[in-house]
Chain A
Amino acid sequence: MTSLETAPSKTGLRRIAIDPVTRVEGHGKVTILLDAENRVHQVRLHIVEFRGFEAFVEGRPYWEVPVMVQRLCGICPVSHHLAAVKAMDRIAGYGALTPTAEKLRRLMHYGQIAQSHAVHFFHLASPDLLLGFDCEATRRNIVGVVAAAPDIALKGVKLRKFGQEVIRHTAGKRIHGTGAIPGGVNKALTPEERDELRRDLDEHVGWAVEAVALIRRLAGAAPDFYAGFGSAPSHTMSLVAPDGAMDLYDGGLRARDLNGAILFDHVDPAAYHERIVEIVKPWSYMKFPHIAALGAEDGWYKVGPLARLQTVDRMPSPLAEAERQVFLAAGGGRPIAGALMTHWARLIELLHALEVIRDLLDDPEITGTDLMAERGARAGEAVGIIEAPRGTLIHHYRVGDDDLVSWCNLIVSTTHNNQAMNEAIRAVARDHLDGRVVTEPLLNHVEVAIRAYDPCLSCATHALGRMPLIVDLVDADGVTISRAVRNADP
């Protein structure tokens, strides 16, 4: 069997497109090439849009950037906001944040994790898992879940709402807020706001426990299917705390190989580019990163919930850590790579986020008013890395003495998972489509694998591919008379 990335020959093959991929955020499409016997020859996830943030951030004042870059993504704006501001802390010459400022940023971030994981599981992916992959397409959405399982749907809506309210109280606004500024935060959390969030929290923790139990039950009812569907064994990467525990706001980079052995550990975020290299493939605007030492063929890896639960040594919150042990046991001690297992990992992280929010709200310093750090010497270049809901998010900037950004590089979470998502849909095509008459429910199987990665395709379209221009002058018989080419391979 070939890798299915590129058909050996395209002659006589039929093209099927899933366009657009739905119940994910942003623009993507899948193309599948089949022969007359419905054998699958090629499967690709294309990221079809680009916007060019890395280019037009250049020339803007550095203090604008944490607000601008949120517009990369409306689902995880806080992650971009904080990754950028962490870099700008250093650019502007601020050292360690005040304890209150760091805790407020963490609160904002864990609110983001909670709301994003909730929207992804309940609003976007749960119709597949609760109603069935082959449920009628017009009913296979959140409205269908409201009708079939109103209790689950309403708790999902409320879990997301809680995360959004945490963000509103710390960032000023649910979507595209402005709470973090270089050197700290611009708003304290009042005791009244703290009490309002704290009042509802225990009930939400209970609902998150129920959500984990739900996915545990679903996976337990079909363990082989959850383990094998869209399985894409790979290396994994995430930030970890100095003691190896999960930390989604800060830390050093750790990667594990296919067998779980550590490839690198506690790598300073500023040195990410020594470890990670990106390549471009001609059929997608999204780049393909890999671990430099292993090469493009073997070095691709996963980030996000499924990776994080396996890169870290433990989760520093008791309910989530207990659930993580159950999750790992389901893999029988081997690394877990099934696409659907990502949903299980995601809901354990949702529980973790709520536990962390509870600890932060119970910390007296959270309502402190010392919000800005001491300012020292400025830097001309800095890297900010954070664990966004979908995985490691890297922001890298250079800023001139005139305060204007002179260069920027972003590697967003979904980009890290580019190869893994492509491998997952190829596995689904091999296992479920090959040799069969392709139907809508079968095509939805392919989308189910993509949804498991919670891809943020808007995020992934920030990076500019280089748009080639090819003009062919063709006569009435279809013969090319002349061709002009710009920006393409010779």
Chain B
Amino acid sequence: MSAPAPLPAPAPRRRLRVATASLAGCFGCHMSFLDMDERLVGLIDLIVLDRSPLTDIKHPGPCDIALVEGGVCNAENVHVLRELRRAAKVVIALGACAVNGGLPAMRNHRGLEDILRKVYEERPDGGAGIPDDPELPLLTDKVHPLHEVVRVDYFLPGCPPSADAIHKFLTDLAEGRTPRLADALLHFD
């Protein structure tokens, strides 16, 4: 009787390609991503970063997940968001600004023109000139949450969402589970 053949090693799971972007946000959600601390090292076995402010890849290739922080406040944001939507199977609105516009959307109540005029007239040294270069993207009249511009698959609230929440969410997706966050991981501040 011969020894049983060893079980074949499980096929290595394909690492998920994850793109990230910060639109009209503060980078706090990306910082919360880094707040995974030592778990980042383990995460590298599950995901590979594509276009992201943390890498030097400037445009996304085909990828599995796009984590998008920040709302949409100018034409460039629209362009980047649409590019990510085309490239990624799953788009996640990461944090308050992406989910509902967040604090930058406070400008919506004032009206862009009103804000501009007020600031122009009341800056102490403000009369020196007007930024009007074609290199500067046009502003949208209001700050928009992502889902007003593209289809969004998941919304992860919080300002920012905690590292624990982001970690649970990504590992659920990477390991083929439907992402579920316990109440303790869901918060809005």
Contacts and interface: CB of A to CB of B under 8 A. Distances in A.
Same complex? yes
Interface of A: 19-20, 22-27, 29, 31, 44, 46, 48-52, 54-56, 58, 68, 70-75, 77, 119, 123-124, 137-138, 140-143, 146, 150, 153-154, 157-158, 160-161, 164, 173-176, 273, 277-285, 287, 407, 409, 444, 447, 458, 464-468, 470, 487-489
Interface stretch (B6-14, B120-128, B167-175, B176-184): B120-128
Interface in B42-57: 44, 48-49, 52-57
Contacts of B123: 278, 409
B119 A55 contact: yes
Interface stretch (B85-93, B110-118, B144-152): B110-118
B126 A280 contact: yes
Contact of A467 (B30, B34, B110, B116): B116
A68 B136 CA distance: 26
Contacts of A44: 135
A157 B55 contact: no
A279 to B, nearest CB: 4
Contact of B139 (A50, A278, A409): A50
A407 B123 CA distance: 9
B131 A458 contact: no
A55 B131 contact: no
B53 A158 contact: no
Interface string B36-72: 0110110010001100111111100000000000000
B135 A55 contact: no
Contacts of B163: 174
B131 A466 contact: yes
A259 to B, nearest CB: 27
Contacts of A287: 125
The 4 closest A-B pairs by CB, nearest first: A74-B28, A283-B133, A465-B131, A468-B132
B129 A22 contact: no
B128 A279 contact: yes
10 contacts: A20-B58, A22-B55, A44-B135, A51-B73, A150-B41, A154-B38, A157-B37, A174-B163, A281-B131, A282-B130
A165 B28 CA distance: 16
Contacts of A49: 24, 73-74, 76-77, 137
A189 B120 CA distance: 44
B106 interface: yes
Given A119-B34, A176-B160, A48 B137 contact: yes
A175 B32 contact: yes
A31 B138 CA distance: 17
Interface size grouping (class) on chain B: 35 or more
A488 B27 contact: no
A75 B74 CA distance: 22
Contacts of B120: 464, 466, 487
Interface string B4-27: 000000000000000000101111
Contact of B44 (A123, A146, A174, A465): A146
B102 interface: yes
Nearest to A15: B135
Residue from B53, B57, B122 with most neighbouring chain A CB atoms (10 Å) = B53
B84 interface: no
B78 interface: no
A26 B27 contact: yes
Interface of B: 22, 24-32, 34-35, 37-38, 40-41, 44, 48-49, 52-58, 73-74, 76-77, 102-104, 106-107, 109-110, 112, 115-116, 118-120, 122-126, 128-133, 135-139, 159-160, 163, 189
Contacts of A19: 58
B52 to A, nearest CB: 8
A388 to B, nearest CB: 14
A156 B40 CA distance: 12
B30 A74 contact: yes
B161 to A, nearest CB: 10
Contact of B28 (A48, A77, A273, A487): A77
A487 B130 contact: yes
B55 A280 contact: no
Contacts of A29: 135
Given A51-B104, A68-B103, A176 B131 contact: no
Contacts of A20: 53, 58
Given A146-B44, A175-B35, A467-B116, A137 B132 contact: no
Contacts of A409: 123-124
Nearest to A289: B125
A37 B72 CA distance: 39
B41 A154 contact: yes
Contacts of B136: 46, 48, 283-285, 465
Contacts of B189: 173, 176
Contact of A46 (B48, B53, B116, B135): B135
A487 B121 CA distance: 12
B58 A489 contact: no
B55 A158 contact: no
A466 B41 CA distance: 44
A23 B27 CA distance: 12
A463 to B, nearest CB: 8
Contacts of A26: 22, 27
A466 B38 contact: no
Contacts of B57: 22, 137-138
A175 B31 contact: yes
B133 A282 contact: yes
Contacts of A70: 26
A71 B52 CA distance: 20
B27 A273 contact: no
A284 B133 CA distance: 8
B78 to A, nearest CB: 13
Residue from B27, B40, B53, B107 with most neighbouring chain A CB atoms (10 Å) = B27
B131 A284 contact: yes
Contacts of B29: 74
Given A74-B160, A157-B37, A282-B132, 7 more contacts: A55-B107, A56-B107, A157-B40, A174-B35, A285-B131, A287-B125, A466-B116
